[in-house]
Amino acid sequence: MPEPEPQPHPQPPRYDPLEPGDGEAIAPTGQGGQMDLALDEAESLERVIPPGPGNPREKARSLWSDAWHQLRRNPVFVLSSLLIVFLVLIAIWPSLIASGDPLQCDLAHSQEGSAPGHPFGYDTQGCDVYTRTVYGARASITVGVCATLGAALLGAFLGGLAGFFGSWGDALLSRVADIFFGIPVVLGGLVFLSVVTSDTVWPVVGFIVLLGWPQIARIGRGSVITAKQNDYVQAARALGASNARMLLRHVAPNAVAPVIVVATIALGTYIALEATLSFLGVGLRPPTVSWGIDISNAAPQIRNAPHMLLWPAGALSLTVLAFIMLGDAVRDALDPKLR
């Protein structure tokens, strides 16, 4: 049992033989006066954590406001969230930083390097790589965020309930998850997405959610089972707490961290999966602009024109990194033991 002893005594209570109260407190098996030692202990705790601006004791703060308080001062969080805000902004309004049209191409400039007004150069079709990279954020971020949200909510909900209540529902869910795990991603994508044809991103999002939720459900189920065995859940049950209270107040907050971490990591792989499916011609289709499409088009040309690959791939990596760093910072902030 790792014992998080928070603060060592800076000044152990001094033993003064002239003071009978202290003498009694020191005797470990004595009959009376034991409370004095407790007060000493309390006072030493008092000295270690001085009431300061970071530790106001007047108003109660919830777990979430405490977490927010800590996040604001975490440079990793600030950096990654600024990056994500920027990416989301250009996903909504790409024309803010790119004035051109991603679909206006001129074959005369095919695979040319950077030129004035076209800092990232041209791709095989002669389209401006910079404009396409900026416009590609929308599809990739929409797919990544929506698929992650869908898979995380569905998976955490089903996995959490299965882990908490156990019995036949748990067995059923685990077997269904096994079936979905057995579906090969590429083959499943080819079948599913060639049946559902649409010009929007939603079939791709739906397919990724369908294949992604079992992973989150397994993680969620496992961490709920770990959390529900803690004595504090038993204590809540002994107090007469309802299942909903035990699940929402005690189990979920202590089980959510792995789900957040896995979901943020999955977000990156979902964006990459979208690129894979687009490469196979069943994901997003031109004229939709996406990093996945551009990366797969540029991959065969990496030796003649690496810039065509590096810019969208760099944008993709940066986006994935930002989300993973955000997930990491949020996980740390939600764990009071790490504060």
Partner 1 sequence: MAELSKTDEAVDAPAEATEEKAIAAFEAPVERGEPILQVRNLVKHFPLTKGVLFKRQVGAVKAVDGVSFDLYQGETLGIVGESGCGKSTVAKLLMLLETATAGEVLYKGQDITKLSGRALKAVRRNIQMVFQDPYTSLNPRMTVGDIIGEPFEIHPEVAPKGDRRRKVQELLDVVGLNPEYINRYPHQFSGGQRQRIGIARGLALNPEIIICDEPVSALDVSVQAQVINLMEKLQDEFNLSYIFIAHDLSIVRHISDRVGVMYLGKMAEIGTDAQIYDHPTHPYTQALLSAVPVPDPEVRENRERIILTGDVPSPANPPSGCRFRTRCWKAEDRCATEEPLLAIPTRFKGQDTPAAHVSACHFAEEKTVLAV
Binding span for partner 1 by CB under 8 A among 52-60, 99-107, 157-165, 306-314: 52-60
For residue 285, the minimal CB distance to partner 1 (Å) is: 44
Binding span for partner 1 by CB under 8 A among 152-160, 176-184, 300-308, 328-336: 328-336
Q: Is residue 65 within the footprint of partner 1 (CB under 8 A)?
A: no
Q: Is residue 240 within the footprint of partner 1 (CB under 8 A)?
A: yes
Q: Is residue 300 within the footprint of partner 1 (CB under 8 A)?
A: no
Q: Is residue 170 within the footprint of partner 1 (CB under 8 A)?
A: no
Q: Is residue 331 within the footprint of partner 1 (CB under 8 A)?
A: no
HEC profile of the chain: CCCCCCCCCCCCCCCCCCCHHHHHHHCCCCCCCCHHHHHHHHHHHHHHCCCCCCCCCCCCCCHHHHHHHHHCCCHHHHHHHHHHHHHHHHHHCHHHCCCCCCCCCCHHHCCCCCECCECCCECCCCCEHHHHHHHHHHHHHHHHHHHHHHHHHHHHHHHHHHHHHCHHHHHHHHHHHHHHHHCCHHHHHHHHHHHCCCCCCHHHHHHHHHHHHHHHHHHHHHHHHHHHCCHHHHHHHHCCCCHHHHHHHHHHHHHHHHHHHHHHHHHHHHHHHHHHHHHCCCCCCCCCCCHHHHHHHHHHHCCCCHHHHHHHHHHHHHHHHHHHHHHHHHHHHCCHHHC
CA–centroid distance for 337 within its chain: 19
Q: In the set 60, 108, 187, 244, which binds partner 1 (CB under 8 A)?
A: 60
Restricting to residues 253-272, which ones interact with partner 1 according to CB under 8 A? 253-254
Q: Is residue 172 within the footprint of partner 1 (CB under 8 A)?
A: no
Interaction mask 8-37, partner 1, x per CB under 8 A? --------------------xxxxx-xx-x
Number of residues that bind partner 1 (CB under 8 A): 48
Q: In the set 12, 20, 39, 78, which binds partner 1 (CB under 8 A)?
A: 39
Q: In the set 21, 230, 286, 302, which binds partner 1 (CB under 8 A)?
A: 230
Q: Is residue 5 within the footprint of partner 1 (CB under 8 A)?
A: yes
Q: In the set 13, 249, 276, 285, which binds partner 1 (CB under 8 A)?
A: 249
Q: In the set 132, 218, 228, 250, which binds partner 1 (CB under 8 A)?
A: 250
**Residue 96 zone, left/alpha/beta (φ > 0; ψ -120 to 50; rest):** alpha
For residue 149, the minimal CB distance to partner 1 (Å) is: 23
For residue 156, the minimal CB distance to partner 1 (Å) is: 17
The residues binding partner 1 (CB under 8 A) are 1, 3-7, 28-32, 34-35, 37-39, 41-42, 45-46, 49, 57, 59-61, 63, 230-232, 234-242, 245, 249-250, 253-254, 334-337, 339
